[in-house]
Structure 1
Amino acid sequence: MKKSTLLHLRIPFSFFLLPVYLLALAVSESINTQNALLSFFVLHFLIYPASNGYNSYFDKDEKSIGGLKNPPSVSKELYYVSLILDIIGLIIGWFISMEFTVMILIYGLISKAYSHPSIRLKKFPITGWLAAGIFQGYFTFILSYIAINDLSVADTLQWNIQFPGVLSTLLLLGSYPMTQIYQHGEDAKRGDITISQKLGILGTFHFTSISFLISSAGFFYFFSKEFSMMNGLIFLAAMGPVLIYFSLWYLRVRKDRNVADFESTMRLNFISSLMLNGFFIYLAIS
């Protein structure tokens, strides 16, 4: 495998998508250990990298993208490797359940529609934003939950399962525009129109801050009600470093729009993912 292919799979980037899986794990009541391990591997080492590689192949970015400051040129190998990873994921998924397999197939098709030139959801600001938020949030939460607990989709139609799934999408709908904030020029060059472009740099910050407050309030309510008030407060405390960094970065961007760059965005992603992952692991253990 070429080095460029491996880099474009962006396997470490799965760390930023891990909170949704860990949330499903944390609220699970009857964990099937084998399924939990297999679904974790399938999502984070096969399906997500396959999606990253496929999108990179068609985007052919020349400037920084999520997880890669200086993306190398792509080759046809990247396209084939991404499809092979998808196939391997589907085969392993079959050993978990048919529903899980169908859902990761749907996820893969939506992720391909996001960047494939014949559809390219990325060209449409609202549609692309909703697709990313719903399928990386709620949809992934549900497919993770049914795998971890060895259940069917019908078994998830309960408030204590549906509500955190919806909250995960609200959180992603708010944070997703921030991942596009440094790519306005690159996206415009390809003819893509993202939600962040529509909002503008400061508008993206304002939109994300409102979404963050709403989703955080929802999570606080859920954790307080389903676990304990203390766990709700610990969640808010865990979000403290994210809020501090976001606020300081916002003040810098107000003075200089150029500070809305790749390094700052990745730092925000890392801090938020680290704190969310840490809290959900704590919740799962406790």
Structure 2
Amino acid sequence: MEYLQPLAQLQVLTMSYLDGLEGLTELLQALPQLHTLQLPAVTVWEQDLDTLLAATQITSIQLDTVGKSRTSYADAPCSWQRLELTWLREWTTFAYLPLHSLSQPLVLGELHIRVEDIADREVAAALHRLAYACKVPVQIKKVRLSMLSWDQQRTGPSVITPALLQQQRVDLAQLVALLQPLQSCFVGKVLPYKLYDITAADVLALAPVCRGCTHLELWYGSVEPSLEFWHQLVKLMPAVQKAMLIKIELPPVYQRPAATLYRQLADKVNKQLQL
């Protein structure tokens, strides 16, 4: 690859939106000074892992996600000191990736937890491994909690019934329990998705997951932001810098121009901070 000779001293390389990694071996061999490889939109498969691990000059790597592997690389020689995954495709990823060489925090862009995961032992094992088997701190930029099953999200509940609301509270408690290992990790943003009739009690339920997070975003669903709601939010989630209600159904009294609504909500939060 003579055309790459002018890049022989390149130390950081970012490649996005690639359709496969053909030629990766030759590329890495032509860049002996490369120490940081960023593939933020690339899914890496087993054969690609072999190539990446063979490139011992790489100490920092960012991948979109890693596909399911039949081979475990957990104990394989590895030069990676930093690893970032922008998305988690397979819960078994942590079982076969070589995390033993990391000296900097393991960074995950997003964890998507669904109500279907509650009874999945593979998910529980992966979360435990992530929190306790990894020897470096773990930073998770975003945790998304989907409070409707896949079928419910696809069709949408025609009516929000008391039975659905009750089941969502049961599911929320179980999801928070499932995520208990993440209390030892840094979680930046938490996004409950399609949780209906959110009250101060739900803030209390979410607190173990959100205690250290800086952003809370409530997507879809519905909420009545009472004074107690904001009081619990400020009290139980002290690190939250921004709380956002996105496409949330509000009671009629709150359905006013956005600027007026934001002022009212800000006044409520300020009053709570002064208590």
With normalisation by structure 2, the TM-score equals 0.27
Structure with a larger share of its residues in strand: 2
With normalisation by structure 1, the TM-score equals 0.26
Q: Which has the larger radius of gyration?
A: 2
Higher relative contact order (CA 8 A, sep 6+): 1
Structure with a larger share of its residues in helix: 1
